[in-house]
Amino acid sequence: MGYSELIKNFDKIRDYMREFYVYGLKSREQYNKKSKRSYDDEKRRIESYLSEYMGFHQTADGKNVYISVDTRRMSHDPLYKAWKCASFTDGDITLFFIISDILSDPSELFTLSSIVEKIDNEYLCCFEEPKFFDSSTVRKKLKEYELVGIIKSEKHGKTLYYHRAENYNFNNTDLLNFFSEASPCGVIGSFLLDRFEENEDAFTFKHHYIAQTMDSQILYEVFDTIHKKQETEIITVSKSGEKIKQTVIPLRVFISVQSGRQYIMVYRRSKNRITSVRIDHIVKIRPLRTVYDHDELREKLDRMMPYIWGVSTQSRNSRKDTVEFTVCFKDNEQYIYERLLREKRCGTVERIDKNSARFYAEVYDANEMLTWIRSFICRITDISFSDKETEAQFRADLETMYRMYGVDK
């Protein structure tokens, strides 16, 4: 089959989109998971959807393709376009629009045989070489549309009738413009926005991580398993490309608006532990069975949450880590105290005096806090970790930074 810009499975472009958007570091030769032909085709497809955001730079290893987007200047995530490229057969599109035309009035009921007859006699007969769809193909399509929710069926006696579903009139484009960018699975909002011809958008977004767009289907499936309280088999891919199969009970999605990552907190019955799995590492989800203790496991996670800084639920030691540090600020720098209050995810902030405040927390993994603590560099007057390895790491990092920037002792 020749090249087409449409694809059957989104997974085909998911990895390439991420590579081009987040990294943009590899040349054609360095994409070695699949064939060079596959690279060429997927690059061509992505260019077809997103050419205005794509560029390349020449390196010794070849041409590195990248996608660069200043998301603050966008009203809509351009990567959503890639979710609108699902392939179909000639029969699929022909039947879709003809059936939609036959079932145009929700109050009119049709049997399968009357639909098949109309397709032949009122639509396809107009063409020189009419296509032929048998009743089994049409029945399959009707069932598919019923599952999608655009038609309904009802039995009268022994006969099954089909009719169009009532439309749900939803016209608030402001709401769709906002939540299609600021809510999980926002691409569904984008599908809804596509229904409107005119759309004057009033919103832009700061700190807007759109890399998550590539994981929309996985996230949707995760929500579905959480909703159905199902134990689930997930397959993840490690950095080295190794596929790992795990059986877990998804409990809650954890989203970071500062790192661009999304996780699922899961219970692993085999280890009797709640841990995290990165959603962008998941390649497949297979629901297994409904579990009886989902609510209790979620309650267990709720009890753990005051001690989770990011997503880690274990420290190097068996006990929780304690972290304590003091920051100083001038009279006109009270916003530093406010920063502690608004940015802390757990723990307490104690105002020591007019110009200093102390933060204290008990967490599963103090290592996760280093990034945040380092953002107070220049103000830290005292710091202490119960895990001495983490403390040594923090102090060693500072020493390295002094050397890196030529700050003499």
Partner 1 sequence: MFFNEIYSAYYKTVAQIIKFAIASPVDAVKIRETAKKYAFSESPFAIETAIKEQRWQLILPDGTTPLKSFSEIPVTLLQKRWLKAISLDRRVQLFDCDFKDLEEIEPLFTEDDYFVFDMYHDGDDFKSESYKKNFRIILSAIHNKDPLDITIKNRKGNESTFSVMPERLEYSEKDDKFRLLTSGNRTASVINLGRIESCSLHVGEFPDISSCRTAVRKRTVTMELVDERNAPERVLLHFSHFEKRAEKLDNGRYRLTIRYDKSDETEILIRILSFGPLVRVTEPPAFVNLIRSRLKSQLRNLN
DSSP 89-144: -HHHHHHHHHHHHHT-STT--EEHHHHHHHIIIIIGGGSSS-----HHHHHHHHHH
**Torsion sign over Cα 293, 295, 296, 298:** positive
- Smallest gap, in angstroms, from Cβ of residue 24 to partner 1? 5
398 belongs to the binding site for partner 1 (CB under 8 A): yes
Is 353 one of the binding residues for partner 1 (CB under 8 A)? no
Tokens found for residue 368: 């996760």
Whole-number minimum distance, CB 28 to partner 1, in Å? 15
Stretch 41-80: interaction string toward partner 1, x if CB under 8 A: ------xxx-x-----x-xxx--x-x-xxxxx--------
To the nearest whole angstrom, how small is the minimum distance from the Cβ of residue 401 to partner 1? Answer: 5
Cβ proximity of 101 and 123 under 8 Å: yes
Q: How far apart are CA 349 and CA 342, in angstroms?
A: 10
| x/- map, 263-282, partner 1, by CB under 8 A | --------------------
From the list 168, 238, 240, 270, which residue makes contact with partner 1 (rule: CB under 8 A)?
168
291 binds partner 1 (CB under 8 A): no
- Residues of this chain, 368-397, that bind partner 1 according to CB under 8 A: 370-372, 374-375, 377-383, 397
| Among positions 32, 35, 113, 400, the unique one binding partner 1 when judged by CB under 8 A | 400
Among the listed residues 166, 198, 242, 353, the single contact to partner 1 using CB under 8 A = 166
Per the document, the length of the chain is: 409
Of 394, 295, 381, give the one whose Cα is nearest residue 336: 381
Of 7-36, binders to partner 1 (CB under 8 A) are 9-10, 21-25
Minimum CB distance to partner 1, residue 385 (Å): 14
Q: Give pairs for 241-245: CB < 8 Å, separation 24+.
A: 241/33, 243/283
Residue among 158 and 227 whose Cβ is closer to partner 1 = 227
- Asked if 299 is part of the footprint of partner 1 (rule: CB under 8 A), the reply reads no
Task: Pick the binder of partner 1 from 328, 358, 362, 386 (CB under 8 A).
Answer: 328
Q: Residues 151, 94, 139, CA angle at the centre, nearest 5°? A: 45
Could you say which DSSP state residue 31 is in? -
Query: From residue 301, how far is each of 18, 267, 297, 308, 400 by CA, in Å?
Result: 31, 9, 6, 10, 37
Tokens linked to 49 = 């959807």
Residues 180-209 that bind partner 1 (CB under 8 A): 182-185, 188-189, 191-192, 194-195, 200, 202-209
176 CA to centre of own chain: 18
Distance CA 283, CA 94 (A): 32
Q: For residues 158 and 193, give the distance between their C-alpha atoms in angstroms, rounded to a whole number.
A: 40
Interface with partner 1 (CB under 8 A), residue total 137
Minimum CB distance to partner 1, residue 317 (Å): 20
* Residue 150 makes contact with partner 1 by CB under 8 A: yes
Longest dimension (CA), the chain: 91
Element (H, E) at 209: none
Contact segment (CB under 8 A) with partner 1 among 35-43, 281-289, 343-351, 357-365 equals: 343-351
Coil/strand/helix, residue 65 = strand
Closest to partner 1 by CB, 32 vs 258, is 258
Q: Which of residues 201-260 bind partner 1 (CB under 8 A)?
A: 202-211, 216-217, 220, 223-224, 226-227, 252-260
Q: Least distance to partner 1 from the beta carbon of 34, Å?
A: 19
Residue carrying the six token digits 């979710």: 83
Residues numbered 88 to 147 that lie near partner 1 (CB under 8 A) are 88, 90, 92-94, 96-98, 100-101, 104, 122-124, 126-131, 147
Our CB check for partner 1 shows the closer of 161 and 179 to be: 179
5 lies in the site for partner 1, by CB under 8 A:
yes
CA–CA dist 148, 150 (Å, integer): 6
Decide if residue 157 touches partner 1 (CB under 8 A).
no
Minimum distance, C-beta of residue 169 to partner 1, in the bound complex (Å) = 8
Which of the ranges 1-9, 284-292, 316-324, 357-365 carries the binding residues for partner 1, by CB under 8 A? 1-9
Q: In whole angstroms, give the CA distance from residue 118 to residue 32.
A: 51
| Residue 395: alpha-carbon gap to chain centroid | 36
Give the separation between CA 57 and CA 72, rounded to whole angstroms.
24
